[in-house]
Amino acid sequence: MLLNGSEILIQCLIEQGVDTIFGYPGGAVLNIYDALYKYRDDIRHVLTCHEQGASHAADGYARSTGKVGVCLATSGPGATNLVTGIATAYMDSIPMVAITGNVTRPLLGKDSFQEVDITGITLPITKHNFMVRDINELADIIREAFRIAQEGRPGPVLVDIPKDISAQKGAYIKQEPVKVKRKTEFITDKALDEVAKLINQSSKPFIYAGGGIIRADASEELMEFAEKIDSPTATSLMCMGGFPVTHPLFTGMIGMHGTKASNLGAWECDLLIAIGSRFSDRVISSNSNLEGAKIIHLDVDPAEINKNVKVDASIIGDVRETLRKLIPLVEKKNNNEWTEKIKGYKDSVKNLNSKKEELTPEFLFEKINDLTNGEAIITTEVGQHQMWASQFYKHMKPKRFVTSGGLGTMGFGLGAAIGSKVGNPDKLVINIAGDGSFAMNCNELATAYAQKAPVITIIVNNNALGMVRQWQNFFYEERYSHTSINRGTNFVKLVEAYGGKGYLVEKREELEPVLKEAINSSVPVVIDYRVHEDKKVFPMVAPGALINQIIYEEDV
């Protein structure tokens, strides 16, 4: 059938199973928005307040559903406003297709109104990007974008469409959605045998699971594998929920703000098994952090093998398929002495929360856990509150913890919460924020209200840029340069101005009834939860320190 470029685009999106687009209109995408009006019964468009909000919403939608997130922006500043969101998705391997408009082809390269080289700008932060220059290539480019975004290590793809292409007529023939193949060609018998041999020889194995477990839907396989080899298991920030926090083998998050059991487990093991993780500098980024242990790395991306840490054996391929083939080859173990030692580290951690009467992050998550039992989708902004959310929430299932890990994007959480709620309308969505981070994109409260997305934002309010202040305390001799926030923002009135409900919590007894009201609200809610500005995140490993050089709260 003969359609214009915008109609071909929308038909291809429908063909790929897209039900929602997050975006903001403008001149270069007017033709596309006209097509969205025509197909409004087939695709929902979520109008955000800012293109960055659209990119974060598409990201949150993707993380919480496992589908490709789609965002749309006009040329020039509209396209550049997507960049931070695209980079966020790239760093965390999130499948996203970002569609931008551009000036007509005759005006390209002439510094035309609202023209930028968005393909050049996003080259380092996308798996691939396309400039559509021929109407006859448009449909195949969209299909290829969806394949690339999902196949292997997922990531964002950008498609830039000049305005004359979106208006030009072309042929469209409907096709089936692209079939994404799991990467298995390098999962060889030789590699499997080599890895299995090391595992079978180990008496003190330790599993370090990363976000690749979530992306590959490999949580069940991870648990089966850990149980068979009787291995303590830690997760990175990006894998929270990929292994149930209540499982006896779970040691908690690993890394800079990881648990004692996780960090010492990695330090003292004789075999570290990294699965779907990239050995980042916030976790383990050098062999000096592993005291003579042998290292196995299972990952879909060959570029990650031996990039930061030299390993003894590796398997390149989809981690779910790798684990399925590896499990029958490993011996069932009983490492009781080793697991009891790690359990001792877990049990030795003091519960400092019970001794306090003031509001603390621990108390906040104790009440959230009581009311949600790990069933909520938790999104976060970036900062201390993000670490507390990872440490204290009862993460039980994958795709329920939505946070910016690699890029550490402040302002991410609210947009991500909206995307998560749109993709999961029957689930409770709670955004954990800091007063600094929340202020960056708080305008998206208007989007939440307009879209009838009653997300809850809990601001852990310390009147400071808490994580930066913590570093100033430890590493800059308490020179608190521009990290105190004295803006006088009334967050209760702010959310009310956007049509939502606001609550101020200053005493412990106020929290539970407020949470219950918020959970039952039909409009967006903001809870201003006041904590002391000197509250810090512990445990902590200083930058550049070894993973066993842990600072505890009682040490300070």
Tens-digit pLDDT profile for residues 414-446: 999 999 999 999 999 999 999 999 999 999 999
pLDDT in tens, the chain (556 residues): 899 999 999 999 999 999 999 999 999 999 999 999 999 999 999 999 999 999 999 999 999 999 999 999 999 999 999 999 999 999 999 999 999 999 999 998 888 999 999 999 999 999 999 999 999 999 999 999 999 999 999 999 999 999 999 999 999 999 999 999 999 999 999 999 999 999 999 999 999 999 999 999 999 999 999 999 999 999 999 999 999 999 999 999 999 999 999 999 999 999 999 999 999 999 988 887 787 899 999 999 999 999 999 999 999 999 999 999 999 999 999 999 999 999 999 998 866 555 567 899 999 999 999 999 999 999 999 999 999 999 999 999 999 999 999 999 999 999 999 999 999 999 999 999 999 999 999 999 999 999 999 999 999 999 999 999 999 999 999 999 999 998 889 999 999 999 999 999 999 999 999 999 999 999 999 999 999 999 999 999 999 899 999 999 877 7
Q: Of the CATH numbers 3.90.480.20, 3.40.50.800, 3.40.50.300, 3.40.50.970, which one belongs to the domain with range 2-171?
A: 3.40.50.970
Tens-digit pLDDT profile for residues 223-262: 999 999 999 999 999 999 999 999 999 999 999 999 999 9
Of residues 223, 387, 467, 540, which has the active-site annotation?
467
Domain ranges across the chain = 2-171, 189-348, 361-538
Tens-digit pLDDT profile for residues 145-194: 999 999 999 999 999 999 999 999 999 999 999 999 999 999 999 999 99
The backbone region for 399, taken as left when phi is positive above 0, alpha when psi lies in -120 to 50, beta otherwise, is left
C-beta separation of 458 from 529 below 8 A: yes
Res 286: pLDDT? 83
Question: Is 250 one of the catalytic residues?
Answer: no
Which amino acid appears at position 414 of this protein?
A: L
C-beta separation of 168 from 108 below 8 A: no
Question: Is 540 one of the catalytic residues?
Answer: no
Res 271: pLDDT? 98
Res 353: pLDDT? 53
d(CA 441, CA 88): 15
| Total residue count of the chain as it appears in this document | 556
C-beta separation of 480 from 462 below 8 A: no
Question: Is 467 one of the catalytic residues?
Answer: yes
Residues 304-309: contacts with CB under 8 Å, at least 24 apart = 304/278, 304/279, 307/278, 307/279, 308/278, 308/279, 308/280, 308/281, 309/274, 309/279, 309/284, 309/285
Of residues 38, 113, 375, 507, which has the active-site annotation?
113
- Fold of the domain spanning 189-348: Rossmann fold (3.40.50)
Question: Beta-strand (E) ranges in 447-520?
Answer: 456-461, 501-505
d(CA 336, CA 327): 20
Of residues 163, 204, 333, 535, which has the active-site annotation?
163
d(CA 33, CA 7): 10
Question: Is 114 one of the catalytic residues?
Answer: yes
Indicate if 189-348 has the same CATH topology as 2-171: yes
User: How far does Cα 474 stand from its chain's mean position?
Assistant: 28
CATH superfamily for domain 361-538: Thiamin diphosphate (ThDP)-binding fold, Pyr/PP domains (3.40.50.970)
Question: Is 509 one of the catalytic residues?
Answer: no
Global pTM reads 0.96
